[in-house]
Amino acid sequence: MLRDSPLDVVLLATDFDVAKDFYSNKLGLPMIDGNEQSLTFSCGGGSRVIISKSETGTADSQTQAQWRVQDLAAELADLRSRGVKIEEYDDPGFKTEDGIYDAGFALFVWITDPAKNSLALLQYAGAVAIQVTPIGRGGDRRRPDDRDTSTPSSACTGAPRRSSAHANWD
């Protein structure tokens, strides 16, 4: 069943040498496979980032992938020490401070890879993940107040869409 299977994020890149350097050296992800059409990097929880060869790259500025992290400050320090540019936003209703956006329930940081894929890091408030019980599988969705106290691992996942014009989340 899909609910029990890891999810891979597939991003586009036009230059594999640049992509390999960014994901291996700048982000510190181990490359576990590579060929002429794709590069695969390992992330936490059995998830992977796959870079697919593209002639045109991405045309979408929305968040393409996000990592759930336990210590955003430590992750930021590590990324900055590796020379990764942290995005800053100063739009009405959507402003970062030192690269961090506070959405109330979580803190977010965005980076952009060389192929212009927008990537996010997220730390839930209190550093605990919001657990969701699927409808039809034992109950209704849990509210954000009903947090699991277990420690989630960092992982690559799909991300909420970010609007550069305002702080609404789809």
CA distances from 104 to 26, 50, 83, 107, 123 (A): 29, 31, 28, 7, 11
Domains and CATH numbers, the chain: 2-157 (3.10.180.10)
Report the candidate in 122, 156, 153 with the shortest Cα–Cα distance to residue 23: 156
Encode pLDDT of 7-56 as tens digits.
899 999 999 999 999 999 999 999 999 999 999 999 998 999 999 999 98
In the structure, how many helices (H) and strands (E) does the chain have? 2, 11
Encode pLDDT of 93-134 as tens digits.
899 999 999 999 999 999 999 999 999 999 998 754 444 444
**CA–CA separation, 2 vs 168, rounded Å?**
28
pTM: 0.71
